[in-house]
Amino acid sequence: MIEFSQVSKTFDGQRAVEALDLVIPQGELAVLIGTSGSGKSTTLKMINRLVEYDSGTLRFAGEDVRHFRPETLRRRMGYAIQSIGLFPHWTVEQNIATVPQLLNWPKPRIRDRVTELLALLHLEPEQYRGRFPHQLSGGQQQRVGVARALAADPDVLLMDEPFGALDPVTRAALQDELRRIHALSGKTIVLVTHDIDEALGLAQRIVLLERGRIVQQGSPLELLTRPASDAVRDFIGRSDIGIKLLALERVAARARQGEAAAGEPIAAAATLREALSAFVTRGADRLPVIDAQGRPAGTLHFADLLPPAP
């Protein structure tokens, strides 16, 4: 869907991105991560030509992005940013309808689309469509921001630290939302963040950038188990790599079927990291597991947290 080949960008003599090669296939949720100044935002903005690259080629849907008019290109890509940037003088409905209106969708279709999106993001449509941005909480504003980015059913969703300004609880809720939307729509999503936990929790592919170059790319599991260098190990948090690995797997994968145990149960959908926390706080070495319907689904032993022997 998006192919960088040998793409470079220089700002006032400063290399921002250097000879970048990166392929993001259709339907993938890719996360660009790195410290500030690593070139991750620049890389994202080159995709919708908010930043023009100096050399190399960047293809979108098989075609050089420079062959598109910037406006046409941008209307085919949803764009959500950290400061949200809702238009303060427009209602939630008008904000979400921005791109569909630019694309001259008929009015009833726009209205239906707004209803659909508000429902998708758990905002009661009739209650929220007429409100103005300043009447919403930060989390609600970002929900509207995401809905606006999705409005015209774009091929690609570009997100520049979309949840960076939110409190941890709201951020976690919106990350869940994004995972759900991605699973539901199968859209290609490119997300920029500096939060490694956000990257590990959301990404199918993590692209770790440093000083304009890709240091390592791969699935969260690959990054945690086979970090390419000490720098990568440092970035993903040397001392709690084990904890992060536990966060990637679900209780259901390790539970022993057919066994029963006493005590307060843990959900099969919980991560092993949550299970570890439960072991420690309850002082138990085995936990009963229940599935989403509340039926018993086996038992998890403390020793099951260790990866199975190869």
Partner 1 sequence: MTVRNPVPLLLVGLMLLAAWTLPLLSHAPNRLLSGRGIQLATLLHGPRLLLLLPAVPLLAAPWLPPRRGCCVLLASAASLWLAALTGLAGAEAARLAGGADTLARTSLGGGYWALFILGALLANDALRRLGGAGGRLALAQLALYLPLLWLLLSGRLEALSLLKEYANHRDSFDEALGRHLQLVGLTLLPAGVGGAALGLWAFCRPRARGVLFAALNIVQTVPSLALFGLLIAPLAALGRLLPGSGLAGIGLPPALLALTLYGLLPMARSTLAGLQQIPDGVLEAARGMGLSAGQRWRRVELPLALPVLISGLRVTAIQAVGLAQLAALIGAGGFGAIMFQGLSGSALDLVLLGVIPVVALAVAVDALFKLLLSLLEVGPR
Starting at the earlier edge strand, list the strands of the sheet with 296-301.
Answer: 266-267, 286-290, 296-301
Verify binding: residue 192, partner 1, rule CB under 8 A.
no
Confirm if 82 and 161 have CB atoms less than 8 A apart.
Answer: yes
Q: How far is the CB of 8 from partner 1 (least distance, A)?
A: 22
Measured CA to CA, the distance from residue 20 to residue 5 in angstroms comes to 6
Q: How far is the CB of 138 from partner 1 (least distance, A)?
A: 13
**Runs of H (alpha helix) within 134-236:** 138-150, 168-185, 196-202, 220-225, 230-235
Q: How far is the CB of 112 from partner 1 (least distance, A)?
A: 20
Retrieve residue 12's tokens.
């006032």
Q: Which is nearer to partner 1, 89 or 295 (CB)?
A: 89
3-class state of residue 292 by DSSP? coil
| Contact pattern from residue 30 through residue 49 relative to partner 1, giving x for each residue in contact according to CB under 8 A and a dash for the rest | ------------------x-
Q: Which is nearer to partner 1, 153 or 176 (CB)?
A: 153
Number of residues that bind partner 1 (CB under 8 A): 26
Nearest residue to 272 via CA among 291, 255, 258: 255
The H or E element spanning position 92 is helix 92-96
Measured CA to CA, the distance from residue 26 to residue 2 in angstroms comes to 8
Q: How far is the CB of 81 from partner 1 (least distance, A)?
A: 6
For the segment 48-107, give every residue that binds partner 1 (CB under 8 A): 48, 50, 70-75, 79, 81-89, 98-99, 102
User: Residue numbers of the site for partner 1 (CB under 8 A)?
Assistant: 48, 50, 70-75, 79, 81-89, 98-99, 102, 132, 134, 145, 148, 158
